[in-house]
Amino acid sequence: ELKVEQNPLFLSMQEGKNYTIYCNYSTTSDRLYWYRQDPGKSLESLFVLLSNGAVKQEGRLMASLDTKARLSTLHITAAVHDLSATYFCAVDGSKLIFGTGTLLAVQP
């Protein structure tokens, strides 16, 4: 059974700092997705990673996928308060399995 783990579960960081969220998964897959969820809101697609070595960047966020290590990272550069949200990775096995989410709080 595919399991998806994210860490950390909670991340409090100051504006201007860099940090990385990790997403590990248990079985082979070369398709991984990152989503953002604001409190009380729906999920918004951030990145779709469809092959080993894929790297996508949008603004201060960069996502990468290493299928051999079964690891994806979401790197935050020079965080700003607007990035505060919960971030989910989701891995495509026989169905999409979501990680536990990482609650990111960027302090001004």
Closest to 61 in 3D by CA, of 108, 106, 9: 106
3-state SS track over 46-93 = EEEECCCCCEEEECCEEEEEECCCCEEEEEECCCCHHHCEEEEEEEEC
The site string for other proteins over 82-101 (x = CB under 8 A, - otherwise) reads ------x---x-xxxxx-xx
Q: In terms of CB distance, is 25 or 35 closer to other proteins? A: 35
Q: Does 25 bind other proteins (CB under 8 A)?
A: no
Q: Does 22 bind other proteins (CB under 8 A)?
A: no
Q: Which residues bind other proteins (CB under 8 A)?
A: 31, 33, 35, 41-45, 48, 88, 92, 94-98, 100-101
